[in-house]
Amino acid sequence: MDPVYIQLSTLMIALATMVTLLVTAQHLRIPAIVPLLLGGILLGPEVSGLIDPAKLGNGLNLLVAGCVAVILFEGGLSLQ
């Protein structure tokens, strides 16, 4: 398979799962981090292997840095 196809499919699976888990957490009125952690464990390379970070290559570092920036920005907005 083409490496770009593998990277895009991995990202799409991760995004679709994330949205589903966030909606579920909101519906159940629980903190979003709980289903996100469980989903990450279940879909990660140790349990099902559906999402493998090694397939993302160098793009993973950029993705993680962007996510950390968004989390910190969102946390800063919630301060009073």
Measured between alpha carbons, how far is residue 58 from residues 31, 53, 61 in Å?
Answer: 31, 10, 6
Reference 13, options 69, 52, 70; nearest CA is 52
Residuewise pLDDT in 10s, the chain (80 residues): 777 888 888 888 888 999 999 999 999 999 888 999 999 899 888 898 888 888 777 777 888 888 889 889 988 887 77
Q: What is the reported pLDDT for 69?
A: 92
The predicted structure's pLDDT at residue 50 = 84
Please report the pLDDT score of residue 75 as a whole number. 84
pLDDT at site 6: 82
- Decide: pTM greater than 0.75: no
